[in-house]
Amino acid sequence: MNKENRNRSIIERISINAMIASIYFILTMATLPVSFMGMQIRIAEMLILLCFFRKDFVIGVSVGTLLANTMSPMFAWDMLFGTLATLISGLLIGYMKQLFVAAIIPVVINAFVVGLELHLIMGLPFWLNVGLVGLGEFIAVAILGYLILLFLGKNEKFQEMIGANQNYRFKW
C-alpha cells in the first residue's frame, strides 16, 4: 500500500469512528430520560455490535460513550467506568464468531460494572442495580441491536458501507 492510500485509509477510519461517536452521543441525548441510572435502556449501546464486523469501531463507540457520559448525573465516575465497560466489551466482541454471544458480552460487563458503580457511588442495592442495568442493556443490545444487525449484517451492501473486515458469514 502506498503512502497516499495508507493516509486515506487512516483518514477514513478516523472519519467513520467520529461518525459512530457522534451517532452514539446523539442517540443517547435523544433518549435522555432512559439513558442513565438504574433501568437505563441506552439505545445507542446497540452500536457496540459494530465491533463484531470491524474491531477498530471500538474507538468510535468508546469515544461516543465518553462524550455521552459527560451528561451523566454521575459525570466523572460514568465517564471512567462506563467508558471502560464499553471499551472492554468492544474489544471482546471483536473476537467473537457468533453475533448472539457478542451481544451478551456488553450485557454482562455493563450490568456488573455500572451496577457496582451505582452501588459504590450512590449506595444503591448492588444486585438490584446489576439486574436493572443488565435488563436495560439486554433490551438495547441483545434484542434491538441483535435483531437489527442480524438483518443488516448479512447484507453485502451494508458490509461494504461499513467496511466490514471480519465475520462476513457470521452465525446467528
Kindly tell me if the per-residue pLDDT of 8 is higher than 70.
no
| 121 neighbors 77 (Cβ within 8 angstroms) | yes
Find all residues with CB under 8 Å of 134, minimum gap 6, and list them: 107, 108, 110, 111, 115
- On whether residue 170 sits in a domain, the answer given is no
Give residue 170's identity as a one-letter amino acid code. F
In CATH, what number is assigned to the domain containing residue 107?
1.10.1760
| 131 neighbors 120 (Cβ within 8 angstroms) | no
Give residue 37's identity as a one-letter amino acid code. M
Domain containing 99 equals 3-162
pTM: 0.92
| 170 neighbors 153 (Cβ within 8 angstroms) | yes
Residue with cell 478516523: 14
- On whether residue 169 sits in a domain, the answer given is no
pLDDT (tens digit, 9 = 90+) per residue, 25-79? 999 999 998 898 777 899 999 999 999 999 999 999 999 999 999 999 888 999 9
Task: Specify the pLDDT at position 59.
Answer: 98
- On whether residue 118 sits in a domain, the answer given is yes
- The whole-angstrom separation of Cα 154 and Cα 29 is 29
pLDDT (tens digit, 9 = 90+) per residue, 116-149? 999 999 999 999 999 999 999 999 999 999 999 9
| Structural domain count, the chain | 1
